[in-house]
Structure 1
Amino acid sequence: MSAPGLETHAAADRSGEIRAALWMTGAIASFSLMAVAGRELAGHLDTFEIMTYRSLIGLVVVLGLGAATGRLRDIRTRRLPAHLCRNLFHFAGQNLWFYAVGVIPLAQVFALEFTTPIWVALLAPFVLAERLTRTRLIAAGLGFLGILLVARPGLTPVGPGHLAAALAAVCFCGNVLATKSLSGTDRVWTILFWMTLMQAAMGLACALVDGTMTLPDATSLPFVVAVGICGLTAHLCVTSALAAAPALIVAPMDFLRLPLIALVGMALYDEPLEIAVFAGAGLILAGNLMNLRSGGRR
């Protein structure tokens, strides 16, 4: 017979995994809806305008919920330069991502985006003084092979969209490293507030460089709102999933985004289901799991 304490612990683990799965279902839906909304907005707004409206909607939501829950006091920070650094990386990466979803198949965008954790594992030793291990180097090699399978240089044209998606992953890596540093001193609500405020200002400044700012019309407005809401719900769902279960459980769930968005791309935009994209994503997933298992053992 097993000890009651062990049974209770196992039941708690299962409960956490179920909660994590439910939260990741919301995250996958949010990311997928944001990609579709970004594709639909590509012909109406430029990426800077999309980011401006996304951030303004997010700021209104954060302020409204913060006022209702008494969390506005959490927005104070002594690390504004660190917030600025984080948001520069995230703003650049998100603009590149919105550009990519408008010009290349959605499955390729998501597959290339999944290299972000591998870039984090490679660069963390230089930024956060972590150790660069052989496992991390092997994982990076698998990720690089996965990128080659997804993009297939020489066999298919590699355009600006592929480069944008790959660079977006690098920028998201900078965002992750900066967030990891900030999370030691600032709360999630603080990070969300300064993210929406700073990126609204960045988006507005970049959008007005040409002297014009396109307003959403009746056709584009629903997609603008979808981008703004999904950007926040995706962050909330992933954060909640990681709080409910270990990253080793959550990360493979996130990769379910790829087959889903591939089916969405096929259904809405006649994008082909390519075996090479799934094979490349599998190598990237293997590299990410190697890093997670290595970190779990440590």
Structure 2
Amino acid sequence: MIKGILLGFACFAAYAISDAFAKALHGTIPPYESVFFGGVLGLAALPFIMGPGDRWHQVFSAKRPHLWWIRAITGGVGNICSVTAFTLLPMAEVFSMIFLMPIFVTILSVVFLKEQVGWRRWTAVFVGFAGVLVVLRPGFRALGLGHLAATLCGLTAALSMVAMRMAGADEKRISLYGAGTIGPIVFGGLAMLPHFVVPDLHQVLLLAGYGLLAALAGVLLMYATLLAPANRVAPTQYSQMLWAIGFGYFLFGNSLDWPMLVGIVMILGAGLFTLVREEKVTRWWKRTKVL
């Protein structure tokens, strides 16, 4: 299990460095163009994702096609929102919005999966959103497109997660990964056609770092969840905040004030608590099903 958890940390380090490459473009390439090239390079992970008996055509198919389409659409929209947010905002501030994902999952699970949520998890939801208000401080600072994009990124990630839950363990990994890769290629490709910017060598290198590291992260995440339970791997995603603070300070000249740090701690605490509670609920549900 330790190897799986360590791979989880390596996975989310790769994701954070990938996001830093995207931010280093400083908006010189439109976000949808970055997402297109990132998706194309993400196909490099497919040979490592494929399991025994998998076929290439299964990248474009699934046992429940509507869930494949949800994954594809949320992948395309979410990636464009992510690059937009990282371009416009400090990395730590973006991650504080994205880490609302477990909170959104709780709400969406009530709506779509009819899960029963107790007062503790609802309290975590309110604490998480209170943390967002502390970070954003609406009325005391200007809010813009970057904040909206970061929040939408967390919401689309939650929708994708709920779709994966609904797909169940019978869905092939290559189909789930394929949907999350094809979506950005299609959405990014269509959006960039009217305004294509030919990247120079420096931009090509940054795009390569963004796409290939994201592909590596996807492979690492798959192997991490094979070696350790998903509930043990999931909390390692919060290590991205440490990378974000470090990159923001040393590479991009960003600093955090005390209210923002307090809000980030509230969001991280609420998210981690939600992950722990969801695991307890899952174990109870499985036990009652067996009994």
Task: Sort the TM-score into its range (normalised by shorter chain).
Answer: 0.7 to 0.9
TM-score by length of 2: 0.86
Identity %: 23
Q: Deviations over 1:36-57 (max 9, x none)?
A: 1111224321111111111111
Q: Is 1:113 equivalent to 2:98 in the alignment?
A: yes
Amino acid of the residue matched to residue 106 of structure 2? Answer: A
Superposition map of 1:192-203 within 5 A:
192-203=177-188
Q: CA deviation at 1:173?
A: 0.9
SS at the partner of 1:220?
A: helix
Quote the residue 1:206 is aligned against: 191
Give, in angstroms, the shift of residue 129 of structure 1: 2.0
> Could you tell me the TM-score, scaled by structure 1's length?
0.85
Return the alpha-carbon distance in structure 1 between the equivalents of residues 158 and 44 of structure 2: 27
2:5 aligns with one of 21, 31, 42: 21
Q: Which ranges in structure 2 are unaligned for 5 or more consecutive residues?
A: 285-291
Structure 2 CA distance for aligned equivalents of residues 85 and 186 of structure 1: 14
Q: After alignment, is 98-107 or 146-155 more displaced? A: 146-155
Match of 1:234 among 203, 217, 229: 217
SS in 2 for 1:219: helix
Q: Aligned partners of 1:176 and 1:49: how far apart in 2?
A: 25
Query: Residue 77 of structure 2 contacts residue 156 of structure 2 at CA under 8 Å; is this kept in 1?
Result: yes
For structure 1, which runs of at least 5 residues remain unmatched after alignment?
1-15
Q: Give 2:238's aligned residue.
A: 255
The answer as to whether partners of 1:111 and 1:277 remain within 8 angstroms in 2 is no
2:21 paired with 1:37 = yes
Residue type at the aligned position of 2:73: L
Q: 1:28·1:256 contact (CA, 8 Å) conserved in 2? A: yes
Whether the 8 Å contact between 1:112 and 1:150 is mirrored in structure 2 is: no
The residue aligned with 1:272 is 255
Which has the higher Rg, Structure 1 or Structure 2?
A: 1
Name the residue aligned to 1:218. Answer: 201
Q: Is the 8 A contact 1:38 1:98 kept in 2?
A: yes
Q: Does 1:131 align with 2:131?
A: no
Q: Counterparts of 2:55 and 2:112 in 1: how far apart (Å)?
A: 31
In structure 2, the partner of 1:245 is 228
* 1:35 Cα deviation after fit: 1.4
> Residues 60 and 260 from structure 1, CA distance in 2 versus in 1: closer, same or farther, beyond 3 angstroms?
closer
2: CA distance, partners of 1:239 / 1:293? 21
CA RMSD between the two structures: 2.3
What is the distance in 2 between the residues matched to 1:216 and 1:70?
39
- The 1:156–1:261 alpha-carbon spacing in structure 2 relative to 1, beyond 3 Å, is same
**Matching residue of 2:43:** 59
Alpha-carbon distance change, 244 to 197 in structure 1, aligned in 2, over 3 angstroms? same
CA contact (8 A) 1:248 1:289 kept: no
Query: How far apart, in 2, do the equivalents of 1:251 and 1:276 lie?
Result: 26
